Amino acid sequence: MSGKCPFMHGATTTQENSVTKWWPKSLNLDILHQHDSKTNPYGNDFNYKESVKSLDFKSLEKDMHDLMTEPQDWWPADWGHYGGLMIRMAWHAAGTYRIGDGRGGAGTGNLRFAPLNSWPDNGNLDKARRLLWPIKKKYGNNISWADLFILAGNVAYESMGLKMFGFSYGRADIWHPEKDIYWGSENEFLAPSEERYSNLEDPSTLEQPLGATHMGLIYVNPEGVNGKPDPLKTALHVRETFARMAMNDEETVALTAGGHTVGKAHGNGDDSVLGAEPEGANIEDQGFGWINPKGNGNGADTVTSGLEGAWTTYPTKWDNGYFDMLFNHDWELRKSPAGAWQWEPTSIDENKKPIDANNPDVRQNPIMTDADMAMKKDPIYREISLKFKEDQAYFSETFARAWFKLTHRDMGSKSRYIGPNAPSEDLIWQDPVPKGNSNYNVEELKTIISKSGLSISDRVCIAWDSARTFRGSDLRGGANGGRIRLAPQKDWKANEPTRLAETLSILEPIAHEFGVSVADTIVLAGNTAVEEAAKAAGYSIDLPFKTGRGDASQEMTDENSFNNLEPLADGYRNWINKDHSNNAEEMMLDKTQLLGLTGPEMTVLVGGMRVLDTNYGGSSDGVFTNQSGVLSNDFFVNLMDMNNKWNDAGNNKYEIIDRISGNVKWTATAVDLIFGSNSILRSYSEVYAQDDNKEKFVNDFVSAWTKVMNADMI
């Protein structure tokens, strides 16, 4: 305003004013340090997974059931039941999951924060969370928002008559947005789909690892591809987006039908007059979003998707009404009051119409989205839909199982499940692993491995390759299960199949003879190698080791699902698939974040892996030492040495040249040199290059190594 000082503080207080925006090529190392303890109001001593075990589960679930039918004036419930809204909230929390990188999903409560809380597809879910606040307030530390979101969906279905497959507690909240997740390159919500596809006619060309057709949607546009109705074309995009959420065709139909069996779409008004999304709303709107100036702004005036209407005759009842409605009527395109394309029946008996959500004296036409019509028009979906139509019990069970998968996919193995309703059945998508032997003489086994003839490099490489598959995003992969010996992992290019087979041919007989899992033996092999390398450097160290890993069978392994864990690069072993165009150091950063490592941990691991001679194919790039196999800080010492200069030799090759003689001393890749060129990574490298930090280097390497080896152990 005129007359006021234009500059009142010296801190960078808004997101758009990042101090690094002038250097757009700078690595975003912040993603390695998100969710730091400083952001967590509970402090380091609080363990949610222990706290939730003391929860009064029955009392909470009763209160949740009561909430469903206790309408609040400030946000009235459709038909007096909040079930549809709560189901949508749970679905949209979980539905962000994608198999490409395991990111998204319901496991962190990220729906509370931008951008998710302000996605167009999440319109008015801010109200759902506010409705849950009294319950969150009551049960406090013993229930996370993340668990509450999914529990609300489960209870909603139960209150409407569906027997659920199960529910597990244990999702710990985060306290700021997940900054590592790439949601797309668009600069606007709902930008044309072409920006996400190499060829819009071929849904498989959707940019990896994205799982939705537009920025700001969960899956597909309800009006059709780019808002143009065409059920057969939409079906192709539904199939691709649900596959990227780990769902097959039957699960896709079940989830589509089950999600639309209850509740309604809201488009009874002009969406152009809505206020800003929650993150962009004025402060007086209390973080609410999409304030509607029409009428009361809620109830009959609610605008969310722009489509308007329910899908079934009884939208608060779990039944087979969706399929009856879909197949027993002919449908035509019409516009909703908000101007959105939707399908409505050409004719329908009055008593088949759903009662108006706010006026029991009025009945309204049902609707279908373009995705719903795809369930009827696509030949594969149609066959499945008709099967469900004729067998409601089978449909209900299939949906309940698919819903459980949708809402628990990113929780890891069932050993992590908590609560009285956690199912005991082993499901292949949980990556089941039998319990391994924990009662054996570790030191004796270490001695046998050390005398096996395997080199330090062979042992470190197989242990690393086995453990590096772990993804903290969805708690999948890792060394437990010993799946590196099974398809598809045994054949991955990144695992050097021939070398892997030779190493396994030595370790597997040892494991079997000793009566322990191959998984334990592999990790222990890596540990013995690190211990020997540390001893060669003058340090006697016993690496921490957890026993009890089991060996999964091929039958326990969903090969298609595990394909998504295949490395396309591994900066730690200085390898990138030549067919991949991505920047190698950026891919290393991505993998580091998934492994749950910090910047210093990444730095010390790379430096140690280089001197242990673990490069892919025996490459000498980045091996800045004359004593390979010794756990020394030579990588950092020589990287920091100003007597050397770096020369770009092309094709991701660099030469380290003696400034005086001009001789090439070593070769390197960009991944090696980034630890000397990036100002932040150089600051870490300088620490490990110091004369007084040789022992610190060894200890820190051991700590980071152990973290990776145990990442999937509970």
Residues catalogued as catalytic = 92
Q: Crossing angle for the helix pair 249-260 and 83-94, nearest 10 degrees?
A: 150
Give Rg (Cα) of the chain.
Answer: 28
State the DSSP code for 690. S
As a residue count, the chain comes to 714
CA–CA gap between residue 617 and residue 613 (Å, rounded): 10
Residue 677, phi then psi, degrees to nearest 5:
-100, -40
Q: How many CB atoms lie within 10 A of CB 232?
A: 12
The residues, ordered by sequence, that sit 6+ positions from 443 with a Cβ below 8 Å of its Cβ are: none
CA neighbours closer than 13 Å in the CB half-sphere of residue 245: 33
H-type alpha helices, 26-139: 48-51, 57-68, 83-94, 125-139
The residues, ordered by sequence, that sit 6+ positions from 211 with a Cβ below 8 Å of its Cβ are: 96, 97, 98, 100, 104, 219, 241, 244, 245
Residue 41 CB burial class (10 angstroms; 0-12, 13-18, ≥19): exposed
The residues, ordered by sequence, that sit 6+ positions from 105 with a Cβ below 8 Å of its Cβ are: 93, 94, 96, 97, 409, 410, 473, 474
* 8 Å CB contact between 309 and 365: yes
3-state class (DSSP) for residue 7: coil
Residue 67, phi then psi, degrees to nearest 5:
-60, -35
3-state class (DSSP) for residue 476: strand
The residues, ordered by sequence, that sit 6+ positions from 383 with a Cβ below 8 Å of its Cβ are: none
3-state class (DSSP) for residue 134: helix
